[in-house]
Amino acid sequence: MPNPKRRHSQQRSAKRRTHYKATAETWSVDATTGESHLRHRAHWVEGKLYYRGNVIVDKAPAAAASESGSAE
């Protein structure tokens, strides 16, 4: 298998790596709730999980059902 005859310089490696940059996270404001959140991520607001302005998981009915079940 061929090997390099001479060592590559550190500068040469650094030039290749310059294209890998850290980027800042993109934040959005949800039109439904007005909360700030990371783009393309679900977020919790007052016990509800929102994604794209829609409620995906609602913890309130589950809590209410467990309370009514214990009263019987």
pLDDT in tens, 10-61: 888 888 877 777 888 999 998 888 989 999 999 999 999 999 889 999 986 6
DSSP annotation of 65: H
The structure's pTM equals 0.51
**Residue found under tokens 């040469």:** 12
**CB within 8 A of 32, min separation 6: which ones?**
50, 53, 54
The CA distance from 6 to 71, in Å, is 80
